[in-house]
Amino acid sequence: MPEQPSDKNQQLESFRVRQEGTDLTTQQGVKVDNTDDSVTVGERGPTLLEDFHAREKLTHFDHERIPERVVHARGAGAYGYFEPYDGWLADYTAADFLTSPGVRTPVFVRFSTVAGSRGSADTVRDVRGFATKFYTREGNYDLVGNNMPVFFIHDGIKFPDFVHAVKPEPHNEIPQAQSAHDTLWDFVGLQPETMHMMMWLMSDRAIPRSYRMMQGFGVHTFRLVNAEGKATFVKFHWKPVLGTHSLVWDETQKIAGKDPDFNRRDLWDSIEAGQFPEWELGVQLVEESDEFSFDFDLLDATKIIPEEEVPVRPVGRMVLDRNPDNFFAETEQIAFHTANVVPGIDFTNDPLLQARNFSYLDTQLIRLGGPNFSQLPVNRPLAEPHHNQRDGYGQQAIHKGRTSYFKNSLGGGCPALADSGAFTHYAEKVEGHKIRRRSESFKDYYSQATLFWNSMSEVEAEHIVSAFRFELGKVETMEVRARVVEHLKHVDHGLATRVAAGIGVPPPAAEATPNHGRSSPALSQLNAPMHRIDSRKVAVLVADGVDGDGVRRLVDALGKQGALPEVLAPTDGRVRAATGEDIEADRALNTMASVLYDAVVVPCGPDSVATLSQDGYAVHFVTEAYKHVKPVAGFGSGLKLLRRAGVADELADDTGVLVDNGVVSSKAAEQSLPEEFFARLGEELAKHRAWQRRTESVPA
Ligand code: HDE
């Protein structure tokens, strides 16, 4: 077995450039004492071509941009590690990093949206990329997945069509980062294999609260191969320790304006705060002999294996604990590739995967400008590469010696063929005719879309109906809308009828595929664990005259539970508590918005509450949080502001603690506010939203 990998961080160290204590120079290292004025003839004369510093500075600037990713252009990334719990998976795979307990394999993960360009907003309705590069002792392994377990199409040859349809329309480049437009839905209506994925895309999965609160999926069926060469089919799953949670639609649209970097910032801030995002890697395993025992084809990437049929077995955990030093050098230049595999992991004939195995290397060649991008610091494997590939743009290595060919005798025969630890392609037996034809076994477009629909809670189902109505409501061509409804009726007639009613198209015809009635509870994200409130952001609204003791106790108690309370006041700086001492405000109210928080609390303090009640911004803050079904809390005179903001649920009328539909209240204040208040608020926060509080005015 090779040596334990040296730390990726350590490897990167030699590439880090620090500016402290240095003088400005040209690229050639010549010192510069003026970078504000060009060399000219006299003070008002023409600029001279010989001003090499000005020319170099401008030339480099002119070439700063590289092509953005064709898809997944907008992303955020972080370093961390993966550690298997134990070695049980060794029965199935020779992959050392999955089976050596105690070995921490460095990783870089990049999360992304798909359709938008680099500068687009984070919170749009979209699939999220979840790409992990494992710098293993046996070379780099990339698991390039998404936060949804299925895909839009069967065969990679359709990918350019799909992406052209979802991207901004070519004549006017509108709309940016949105699926709600004619061309995407035109594609969907004519390509019904998209139906299962469209159910996911219309669900809350497409608007995650945080990258840290998303599941990840390898999507394709891959192969694990053990040391004896025995293969087993595998699906990879990432499960977030914080549970799987989403925003609500109205909120996402507002955040896109208030903080377009919402998810990116959330990832960055939580790592800076030492609250490291964590996921559990799990696998679903299927024996080769069971390949045909499902009612779908394992090679069809529009299908899941329901967890109730094949359980997800835990393998290890991944923790992200370090932000990159430089976005461009690391997050932008990282190059993932589905064909980056290590011994023990292999492909299947999924035609989507096969196309990806071509496409990723191909795209990096243009995006990163030539064939040497694996030498970029973030892409460098920890297992040292040795080969006879030479030259090309951006070559960093200085290869010594005369030989760059195999076999050679002049170079001592090196690099030599490995006699152990080499990757061996799984010797699958294949035979057949060359044909261009979709497999019959891929042709059930609807039953798993129905499975997904049947598995939703009432709230999740409502959100799906609203999303279809919103998206199709933006489609200008009525025939395109109607065509989609005709497909939806094969998913569920009731769903199609509800969607049709909202978009002005006739209800679907009566004859439809009957709903099979099956469900998979694991598909509802409201069934995910809900007991952690780490890094949940809580706004505490204060003004002069606030109950200082109450605020301190609240901030302290929420902090101890792992949440991140922030004190918001009408202006930045300090507010004076009722008892005379100063309280530091973290932010001015008007720089923030309720949509940037998970909950809001209004503390006691008659003067504070009187000021906030006059402040339309503060009142709206509470109203909006309430409408977005977030936990809302108040104590003492703070309850007055809750009422003024339209909180319609029952509030406490004594010093006890009352919880009603996610509204936590008590008439007590200062030292007499019971500890129970903080505990109950924590419980409501852990539930994420008070979904049962659906008032008619709640925007879905
Ligand atoms: Fe990708 N995909 N993809 N994709 N994909 C890219 O690679 C492609 C597919 C996914 O953070 C590109 O470096 C084809 C499925 C992620 O850098 C490109 C097909 C899944 C990322 C490409 C697919 C993904 C990409 C764009 C159909 C989920 C971002 C730039 C056969 C399992 C990785 C680049 C990052 C990126 C091609 C389908 C996930 C063009 C041809 C299915 C997470 O190569």
Length of the chain: 700
Closest protein CA for atom 14 of ligand 1:
356
What CATH number should be reported for the domain holding residue 622?
3.40.50.880
Q: Note whether 105 and 216 are same-domain residues.
A: yes
> Is there a single domain that holds both residue 329 and residue 449?
no
Task: Name residues whose C-beta falls within 8 Å of residue 126's C-beta, 6 or more positions apart in sequence.
Answer: 113, 114, 115, 116, 177, 179, 201, 206
List % helix, strand, coil for the chain (3-state, nearest 5).
Answer: 35, 15, 50
In a domain, 278, yes or no: yes
In the reported structure, the alpha carbon of residue 266 is separated from the centroid of ligand 1 by a whole-number distance in angstroms of 23
Q: Ligand 1, residues 68, 155, 359, 368: which to mutate, most atoms within 8 A of Cβ?
A: 359
Q: What is the mean pLDDT of the chain?
A: 96
Cβ–Cβ < 8 Å for 669, 604 = yes
From 504, 527, 550, give the residue that closes a domain: 527
Is residue 494 domain-shared with residue 572, that is, in the same domain?
no
- Residue-wise pLDDT tens digits, 295-337: 999 999 999 999 999 999 999 999 999 999 999 999 999 999 9
Q: At what angle do helices 616-627 and 606-614 cross, to 10 degrees?
A: 90
312 and 236 belong to one structural domain: yes
pLDDT at 693 (0 to 100)? 87
Provide mean pLDDT across the span 235-244. Answer: 97
Tokens 């070695």 found at: 87
Atom of ligand 1 nearest to the CA of 363: 44
> How far, in Å, are 132, 636, 659 from residue 542 at the CA level?
42, 13, 22
CA distances from 428 to 221, 302, 347, 353, 438 (A): 15, 23, 10, 16, 21
Half-sphere exposure of residue 575, counting CA atoms within 13 Å on the CB side? 29
Is there a single domain that holds both residue 689 and residue 646? Answer: yes
Residue 589 is assigned to a structural domain of this protein: yes
Q: Are 284 and 313 in contact (CB under 8 A)?
A: yes
Q: Is 228 domain-assigned?
A: yes
The dihedral built from the CA positions of residue 341, 137, 225 and 387, taken in this order, carries a sign that is positive
pLDDT band for 2, please (50, 70, 90 cuts).
very low
Q: Where are the alpha helices (DSSP H) in 302-411?
A: 351-367
CA atoms within 13 A on the CB side of 137: 16
- CA angle at 699 for the pair 697 and 700, rounded to the nearest 5°: 130
Among the three residues 376, 409, 433, which one is the final residue of a domain in this structure?
A: 376
Calculate how far, in angstroms, residue 238's C-alpha sits from the geometric centre of ligand 1.
Answer: 18
Residue 141 has pLDDT above 50, yes or no: yes
Q: What percent of the chain has pLDDT over 70?
A: 98
| pLDDT (average), residues 20-46 | 97
Q: Whose CA is nearest to atom 6 of ligand 1?
A: 71
Protein residue whose Cα sits closest to atom 3 of ligand 1: 356
Domain membership of residue 455 as a residue range: 445-527
Could you tell me the two tokens for 249? 């639609």
Q: Which two tokens stand for residue 505?
A: 């198209």
- What's residue 151's pLDDT? 98
* Residue 1 pLDDT: 46
Residue 695: per-residue pLDDT = 59
Among 346, 376, 406, residue at a domain's last position? 376
131 alpha carbon – ligand 1 mean position (Å): 9
Contact 103, 97 (CB under 8 A): yes
356 CA closest ligand 1 atom index: 31
pLDDT the model gives residue 699: 45
Q: How many domains does the chain have?
A: 3
Give tens-digit pLDDT for 240-272: 999 999 999 999 999 999 999 999 999 999 999
* Catalytic position from the list 140, 146, 147, 661: 146
CA 158 from chain center: how many Å? Answer: 24
Going through 529-640 in order, the beta strands assigned E by DSSP cover 537-541, 564-569, 573-576, 582-585, 587-588, 599-602, 632-635
Judged by average pLDDT, the poorest of 363-377, 417-431, 510-524 is 510-524
464 and 542 inside one domain? no
Residue 396 is assigned to a structural domain of this protein:
no
Determine whether 181 is an active site residue: no
- ∠ CA 191-145-147 to the nearest 5 degrees? 75
Same domain, 522 and 559: no
Which helix (H) or strand (E) segment holds residue 554: the answer is: helix 548-560
Q: Which of 53, 72, 220, 463 is catalytic?
A: 72
109 occurs within a structural domain? yes
Q: For 118, phi and psi rounded to 5 degrees?
A: -55, -35
Structure tokens given for 266: 């959330």
On whether both 496 and 558 belong to a single domain, the answer is no
Picking from 60, 68, 137, 98, the residue whose alpha carbon sits closest to that of residue 345 is 98
Nearest-CA residue for atom 7 of ligand 1: 360
Q: 3 falls in which pLDDT band (50, 70, 90)?
A: low
Is the Cβ–Cβ distance between 113 and 129 less than 8 Å? yes
Mean pLDDT across 403-432? 97
Q: Where are the beta strands (DSSP E) in 323-385?
A: 345-346
Cβ neighbours for 516, distance < 8 A, ≥ 6 positions apart: 447, 450, 451
Per-residue exposure over 162-198, b if at least 16 CB sit within 10 Å of its own CB, e if not: beebbbbeeeeeebebbbbbebbbbbbbebbbbbbbb
Q: What CATH number should be reported for the domain holding residue 458?
A: 1.20.1370.20
What pLDDT digit, counting tens, does each position of 587-607 carry?
999 999 999 999 999 999 999
Give domain status of residue 561, yes or no: yes
- The reply to whether 646 falls in a domain is yes
Cα–Cα distance between 394 and 389 in angstroms, integer?
Answer: 13
Atom nearest to 75 CA in ligand 1: 11
Residue 511 is predicted with a pLDDT of 77
604 and 554 assigned to the same domain: yes
Whether 146 is catalytic is: yes
> Mean pLDDT across the stretch 359-381?
98
Buried b (16+ CB within 10 A) or exposed e, 632-669: bbbbbbbbbbbebbebebebbeeeebbbebbbbbbbbb
Task: Look at residue 31 and tell me whether its pLDDT is greater than 90.
Answer: yes
Return the residue matching tokens 């299925």: 150
| Domain shared by 174 and 131, yes or no | yes
Q: Cα–Cα distance between 562 and 560 in angstroms, integer?
A: 5
DSSP classification of residue 671: G
Q: Are residues 517 and 547 in the same domain?
A: no
User: In this predicted model, what pLDDT tens digit does every residue of 171-186 receive, in sequence order?
Assistant: 999 999 999 999 999 9
Domain with 255 in it: what CATH number? 2.40.180.10
Confidence of residue 697 (pLDDT cuts 50, 70, 90): very low
Residue 87 is which amino acid? Answer: G
Using a cut of 0.95, tell me whether the model's pTM lies above it.
yes
**433 belongs to a structural domain:** no
Q: Which of 25-34, 285-294, 527-536, 650-659 has the lowest mean pLDDT?
A: 527-536
Taking the C-alpha atoms of residue 49 and residue 568, their distance in angstroms, rounded to an integer, is 55
Q: Is the dihedral of CA 171, 172, 177, 178 positive or negative?
A: negative
Does one domain contain both 180 and 119? yes
Please give the structure tokens belonging to residue 326: 């430089």
Name every protein residue with a CB atom under 6 angstroms from any ligand 1 atom.
Answer: 69-72, 75, 110, 112, 129, 131, 144-146, 151, 156, 159, 219, 301, 336, 352, 355-356, 359-360, 363-364
